[in-house]
Structure 1
Amino acid sequence: MDRCGTCQAPLFVSQRLSWDPEGVISIVGSPHNRMVFFESECIDQIFRGIEDLIGSPIEHIVIESRARETRRYIEKIYPGEEVYYERVRDETLSQKEREEAKEHIRALTQSIIDIGKVYGYGDTRMSDLWERDYPYPWRVQVTRDPYSLLFTVADNLGSVEACEGRDMWAGYQEIGENTYRIEVYEGEHPVGLKERLQRKKYGLKPGDIGYARCSECGLPLEVSRHRWDLERGVILDPGTGRRRAFFGPLSVDAIFHDLEEELGEYIPEKVIEAMRRYCRVAWAGEEWRRDADTFREMIALRGLGNLTSFRGDREHLEVLVQNPALHLPLVGAIQALVELAYRAEGSNVDWELKEDGDLGVDVRLKR
């Protein structure tokens, strides 16, 4: 994977993604499709936090919801791939023809793995079943240091479902230190989520956010300074040591929606509280300034939106974010950061996702 000669960031990132003045990370050539560059270690922690708060497991719902979104994405960008999977199983074809179809699938699988490493998804490898006379080797993968175990399982499931054109289910087992064998099986979904309504899409509001950029590849310097370990599939922030990854926010919002539909309308507050608790612990050792520019840059570089209003006093802080992404985790993160910046033990938060898509957050400190 080629790197920029100046900043050493992978050129794939600067060629595929654009940091826009609206506080959005968009996909080049598809500006309405967004990505975020977010602390990946918090993903599974949020869901574990929700489980602790509600006293009930949600892993099965998270995996099925995420897999559904992955399946739709793969079907869209790789249309017609199922024909190759059918050819592998077609005994009317010659052995050579079936092997050619299998090699096509292998190349496609490796391509997806390579992109995942650039995006910080961990070290995923194809299993040794490819070297044996196994009919479905693409159904098994081994991943080390996954950015999110739940999302990795779901992405494998959704990808196989898209390519084989049928519903399936997935399981995983730990086979080493932070290393997992993930296998997809034939069968019905264990949950059977209802088809969700399409979430309302809001038009982007113009912004004026500017970034200091690499003179060669154009990435924001605050992004290009991160360390990409492409062999391990890990992106690290050298200042904090925290891990980051690129992923689509809409599929995460869909999970929260599905959890709310399945479990009840209290889920949004549990998402916010789980994120607040995680940030309070994970970010406690850092100095957080109270100025608007710090908050604005932090939100925009992650592709979470454009902070346009920031006002408050010693007792509360009120902010407005235009073009927000991951609005529920964002509320929890803002609440935690206000508590850390003001050295407060706790707070109450009110928030609203307005008709025009703006996110208003009001944090009132407890003294």
Structure 2
Amino acid sequence: MSSRKLCPRCGASRRIVRQHRWLSDGTIVQAKNPDHRMIFIENENINAAFGIIEEILGMSIERIITEAKRRATFDFVDHVIPGIVKAVVQKVGVRPVIRNITALGQVMGYGMLELSGLRRVHDEGDYATISTRDLYSLPLFCGDLAGSFNAIDRREVGISYREIGPGEYEITAHIKPHPLELMERLKPIPYTHKPGDIELERCPACGGPQALSEYQWDLERGIIVNRTNGRRMVFIGPSTIDTIIQELENELGETIPEVVIEAQRRFVVSGFYSPQEAATEEIFRNTLAIRGLGNLREMTWGENRLYVRLENPCLYLVMVGLILGLFELVAGREGQPRWELKEDGDLEVEVSAKA
């Protein structure tokens, strides 16, 4: 029963708690690969920000999103699956591994995922089809599927999909007969890990953050929602989003940082977030920590001014847009941001009211 997969005390997914660590420095890391950061973030924020970026640029960024997620998922799955399992897969088959990965995707909030077709005889016609419902993101999941098969089958993969109903897709990985070429690994994002002193209250049963009790896991549908406001949440690696931003900048030029900041600002001032979520420094610090977004060291409000210093940040441009939008929500005035990623890795953001 799915209820057995949830902590009886706080209701969090046992697997999520077992495979991740919430650290005192404001970060979440993969238990088996502490260099791999994760974040727990509102799903609508991700999709809306991508949509606004496309609107500003006047072009689709789906290809860039999918490719960045493929590479990030390859790194993630390659660490999650033990070497002995990879060897067995080559001889026995991939069904058990696929089911394990789709189950992991569901506890991470990616939607309902089910293997609905598989052909694996090591020729040009090999494929695997996943039926999905309520996907967290179509382009991101296409990257998830391609990266997963790169990792478990060690072969090149192409992706196609078709919509079969409202919110339902069949996504097919076309597995090529030739071995996976030496893949350029994602260049590590230089996230810092300064020691911190954040003490999240822990669930006495599972050991995860007690704050996870504020969220409900629907394991059948693969959805995590905030019990209070109904927002859908997902676990995702911040390096995916930061890599997407890097690739956009590489292809489209140096205006991309301003575009990303503006996209996040527009989303925040649309009213999705409440100023009460950052009403005090302590509240905002805990809000960021449970999401793995870093360790808030300072938040100072002045007359028509907001200053924030964040240790161990990720999603730098998104955070600048978040802080800018927060200022405009509270002050009721347009803001002008100045920000800097310091040599020690701290992110400093100062927003002043426009004259």
Shorter-chain TM-score above 0.5: yes
Does 2:11 align with 1:11?
no
8 Å CA contact retained: 1:348, 1:363: yes
Unaligned stretches of 5+ residues in structure 1: 88-100, 188-193
Corresponding residue of 1:240? 229
Q: 2:77 aligns with which of 69, 74, 77?
A: 74
Give the distance between the partners of 1:86 and 1:59, measured in 2 at CA: 32
Shift of 1:64: 1.3
Deviation at 1:252, TM superposition (A): 2.0
Which string of whole-angstrom CA distances, capped at 9 and with x for unpartnered residues, describes residues 143-188 of structure 1?
A: 111122211111111122333433332122221111111112367x
Q: 2:347 aligned with 1:356, yes or no? A: no
1:168 aligns with 2:126: no
How much has 1:136 moved relative to structure 2? 6.3
**Residues 257-268 of structure 1 mapped to structure 2, 5 A cutoff:** 257-268=246-257
Deviates more, 1:194-203 or 1:242-251: 194-203
Q: CA offsets, 1:101-146, max 9 Å, x none?
A: 23xx11110001111111111101111457xxx9967521111111
Whether the 8 Å CA contact 1:347–1:363 is kept in 2: the answer is yes
Structure 1 residue 122 and structure 2 residue 105: aligned?
no
Equivalent of 1:346 in 334, 344, 352: 334
Displacement, 1:277?
1.3
- My pick for the range that moved more, 72-81 or 326-335, is 72-81
Question: Could you tell me how far apart the structure 1 residues matched to 2:186 and 2:108 are?
Answer: 29
Question: What corresponds to 2:179 in structure 1?
Answer: none
Alpha carbons of structure 1 residues 28 and 288: separation in structure 2 relative to 1, 3 Å:
closer
Q: Which has the larger radius of gyration?
A: 1
TM-score by length of 1: 0.85
- SS of 1:167's equivalent? strand
Query: What's the Cα RMSD here?
Result: 2.7
Cα deviation, residue 316, structure 1? 1.1
CA distance 1:3–1:341, shift in 2 (3 Å): same
Residues 216-255 of structure 1 aligned to structure 2 (within 5 Å): 216-255=205-244
Partner of residue 131, structure 2: 142
Q: Is the 8 A contact 1:44 1:149 kept in 2?
A: no
Q: How far apart in 2 are the matches of 1:349 and 1:179?
A: 41
Return 225-234 or 36-45, whichever deviates more. Answer: 36-45
Distance change >3 Å, CA 289–CA 262, structure 1 → 2: closer
In 2 relative to 1, CA 31–163 (structure 1 residues): closer, same or farther, beyond 3 Å? Answer: closer
1:280 to 269, 280, 304: 269
The C-alpha deviation readout for 1:210-266, integer Å capped at 9, x for no partner, is 222222222222222211101111110112211111111122211211111111111
**Long gaps (5+) in structure 2:** 177-182
- Please list, as runs of the form range in 1=range in 2, the aligned pairs for 1:168-187 lying within 5 A after superposition: 168-185=157-174
Q: 2:62 aligns with which of 51, 59, 63?
A: 59
Counterpart in the other structure of 1:157: 146
- Report the equivalent of 1:92: none
Letter in 2 for 1:5: P
How many positions carry a matched residue from both structures?
343
Distance (Å, rounded) in 1 between the aligned partners of 2:239 and 2:106: 21
C-alpha distance in 2, partners of 1:291/1:83? 52
| TM, length-normalised to structure 2 | 0.87
Cα 1:186–1:151 shift into 2, 3 Å: same
Q: Which has the higher strand share?
A: 2
8 A contact 1:85–1:163 mirrored in 2: yes
How far residue 33 of structure 1 moved from its aligned partner, in angstroms, is 2.3
Classify 1:286/1:230 alpha carbon distance in 2 versus 1 (closer, same or farther; 3 Å): farther
Give the share of equivalent positions with the same residue, in percent.
Answer: 37
Q: Does 2:38 match 1:35?
A: yes
**Cα gap change, 1:120/1:150 in structure 2, threshold over 3 Å: closer, same or farther?**
same
SS at match of 1:324: coil
Asked if structure 2 preserves the Cα contact closer than 8 Å seen for 1:196 and 1:258, the reply is: no
Question: How far apart are 1:365 and its partner, in Å?
Answer: 2.7
